[in-house]
Structure 1
């Protein structure tokens, strides 16, 4: 599967900018709505709260943001009808594909859908304590790297950054934590030397302010071999230069990688009218929350990603079509992704009666999954 990143054109952005002043009378949201997001203090949580304030001011909606320490704890409330949306990250892709922690009984490939996303001037990168003596990714050999249990998005991102330098987890000491927040407390406390974060995530500021300090090893975009190694592990990453983040600025940019984060997602069976109203409310209220923090600019029209690795919900597509930014090419890409999810769902159904232990079940599923996708001419990415 080749992932394609596409943003709207400047002309389309101007068109939508004009449309944003249109009446939002057809936005119909319940009095209380719930999102799950990463822990309190993270950029995903903080951005959700900022959007919630704008929705409260305009529509009287109470947005309840439920913190989750890892991918599973953020996705479980969506699966169990406890929240309607998730402000999520790369875990969306793993859930859609049914891999890693989602390749076990009780989960499997999830028919998740994109609604709206944010790509700011930040990166999602491997941060290193400045006192660890690391200047490049290659210097991480022998260092302590945080991994987060039940969060393949964070763990695979760490693995991918190591792969850039030709390293694996065997070349470092991995230290496992139960949640993102715990991994970053460990960074400050000197228990680990490196951990994944958005460059604008709140906990990174605590590390910068501590005696340890913070630095972000570059992933030079000119290193094609390094990027090839990295995207074999994490194909959803694309080269991106950050000018926003802890210890990062236009004068001191970080040459690394990114993907949409946070992205607002929901389930395929979510009410289309609710999804339509949600995306319209979040998008048309942009001017009322964009100044809450620098990273909020990621929600702007020109920073939307319409061709990623997970399909858009039909209610969201309806809105983006009305906004004049949804193209035939985007629709074709979306239909391909919908077909991919259907193939995965059919393959997962064949696993229903298999009586295997957890590890054997996952191994068998990965074989079944790969065979089903390859039979339809699609790249399984992982085998």
Structure 2
């Protein structure tokens, strides 16, 4: 797994601790992460502080505003790892959306570890003044669509699919950005929009005259979940306890996915991948609770059968920890075969040099997946 940078932030500390422990990791490291102030960025800073305190490692965190800007330095080998989301991991692996441009293509992403904390959900909120109870009730309602933000729109589409709906069943309202979509909900221009439950704009919407409601996801609704995961296979049912209208309650039964995900690529050195995985586990007590949502990095929260494959170095560590088994290996092997099929289809199409790349690649991509017996998404 490898990832234009708006700005550079150095994570801490000038002096190496006297009693720094030994690790195979280099003394100077760089990660890309979400933009400054985001949960992902703040978590990377906290992990960097633990690396400095324990190993004397200086971690530079390079914030990127979007999936491409987080992934480009990894692809170029300018950073060791990227703390990213489903865009920089799964969609990058798939060569989908922005990663389907001719200068990109499917990336050989490899997972090191992931934050599966579950304190929040990534969900579609609706204006409470509409008296909507289920996602199926969104039929005919106005739903936000963010121009140039495929990850957000796929997530919204997944929730619509859970309710048995598509974009054709709702009134699509386009916005130029995430913030504008939620301002639109507050001001009555749209009825539903996607966000993390702890987004500041979600709290603003909840306190507005319209109010806010998160329609539920029933974990026992197998058909609805199948429709949802056919659009976005990275979603899993989850009860959130943090967020607008959720804080102080028994929680909101919705859905979420791993965020952030620490990734390298197939080119990442195995010993470094092993050492980074081990460090994430060993350092957990040092960074636990040091940033919002950071506790999802705990070893017992790791999902060994996610939608992108693990690095061989990480697998070696998880095997030693007793978390890796034959089923996980078979799942990983299939994901790597999926990446290889996509890469072969990409190279074959590049050799053909079609004039209509934007239409030709998605078609070739889906055909390669179908021909290989892989699940076709996007």
**Conserved 8 A contact 1:117-1:262:** yes
The CA distance in 2 between the partners of 1:58 and 1:202, in whole Å, is: 34
5 Å-filtered alignment, 1:220-235, equals 220-235=218-233
The CA distance in 2 between the partners of 1:265 and 1:178, in whole Å, is: 29
**Conserved 8 A contact 1:129-1:194:** yes
The CA distance in 1 between the partners of 2:179 and 2:265, in whole Å, is: 26
1:115 correspondence with 2:117: no
**Conserved 8 A contact 2:155-2:232:** yes
Please state how far the C-alpha of 1:94 moved relative to its aligned partner.
1.6
Cα gap change, 1:76/1:129 in structure 2, threshold over 3 Å: closer, same or farther? Answer: farther
Structure 1 stretches of at least 4 aligned residues deviating more than 6 Å after TM superposition: none
5 Å-filtered alignment, 1:289-368, equals 289-293=287-291, 295-357=293-355, 360-368=356-364
Cα deviations across residues 15-37 of structure 1 (Å, max 9, x unaligned)? Answer: xxxxxxxx952242332422222
The CA distance in 1 between the partners of 2:253 and 2:106, in whole Å, is: 33
**Conserved 8 A contact 1:113-1:266:** yes
**Conserved 8 A contact 2:198-2:244:** yes
Please state how far the C-alpha of 1:210 moved relative to its aligned partner.
5.0
The CA distance in 2 between the partners of 1:108 and 1:74, in whole Å, is: 15
| Counterpart in the other structure of 1:277 | 275
The CA distance in 1 between the partners of 2:329 and 2:30, in whole Å, is: 29
**Conserved 8 A contact 2:29-2:58:** yes
Give the RMSD, CA atoms, in angstroms: 2.8
Scaled by the length of structure 2, the TM-score of the pair is 0.83
Please state how far the C-alpha of 1:82 moved relative to its aligned partner.
4.1
Cα gap change, 1:87/1:215 in structure 2, threshold over 3 Å: closer, same or farther? Answer: farther
The CA distance in 1 between the partners of 2:287 and 2:188, in whole Å, is: 36
Runs (5+) with no aligned partner, structure 1: 1-22
Cα gap change, 1:202/1:306 in structure 2, threshold over 3 Å: closer, same or farther? Answer: farther
The CA distance in 2 between the partners of 1:102 and 1:189, in whole Å, is: 34
For residue 352 of structure 1, give the secondary structure of its aligned residue in structure 2: helix
Please state how far the C-alpha of 1:303 moved relative to its aligned partner.
0.7
| Counterpart in the other structure of 1:87 | 83
How many residue pairs align between the two structures?
357
Cα deviations across residues 248-284 of structure 1 (Å, max 9, x unaligned)? Answer: 2573321112222221112221233332332222221
Moved more, 126-135 or 311-320: 126-135
* Higher relative contact order (CA closer than 8 Å, sequence separation 6+): 1
The CA distance in 2 between the partners of 1:367 and 1:219, in whole Å, is: 32
**Conserved 8 A contact 1:70-1:148:** no
Cα deviations across residues 29-73 of structure 1 (Å, max 9, x unaligned)? Answer: 332422222x33332233223222322332333433333333233
Scaled by the length of structure 1, the TM-score of the pair is 0.82
The CA distance in 2 between the partners of 1:65 and 1:175, in whole Å, is: 35
| Counterpart in the other structure of 2:103 | 106
The CA distance in 2 between the partners of 1:334 and 1:116, in whole Å, is: 14
For residue 195 of structure 2, give the secondary structure of its aligned residue in structure 1: strand
Runs (5+) with no aligned partner, structure 2: 1-19
For residue 307 of structure 1, give the secondary structure of its aligned residue in structure 2: coil
**Conserved 8 A contact 1:33-1:61:** no
Cα gap change, 1:45/1:247 in structure 2, threshold over 3 Å: closer, same or farther? Answer: farther
**Conserved 8 A contact 1:208-1:247:** yes
Please state how far the C-alpha of 1:289 moved relative to its aligned partner.
1.7
| Counterpart in the other structure of 2:157 | 159
5 Å-filtered alignment, 1:165-204, equals 165-177=163-175, 179-180=177-178, 183-184=181-182, 192-204=190-202
The CA distance in 2 between the partners of 1:131 and 1:78, in whole Å, is: 45
For residue 351 of structure 1, give the secondary structure of its aligned residue in structure 2: helix
The CA distance in 2 between the partners of 1:69 and 1:205, in whole Å, is: 22
**Conserved 8 A contact 2:127-2:211:** yes
Please state how far the C-alpha of 1:184 moved relative to its aligned partner.
4.7
**Conserved 8 A contact 2:30-2:62:** no
Cα gap change, 1:128/1:313 in structure 2, threshold over 3 Å: closer, same or farther? Answer: same
| Counterpart in the other structure of 1:263 | 261
The CA distance in 2 between the partners of 1:273 and 1:188, in whole Å, is: 50
**Conserved 8 A contact 2:195-2:202:** yes
Cα deviations across residues 286-328 of structure 1 (Å, max 9, x unaligned)? Answer: 1122212452221111110111111111222232233332223
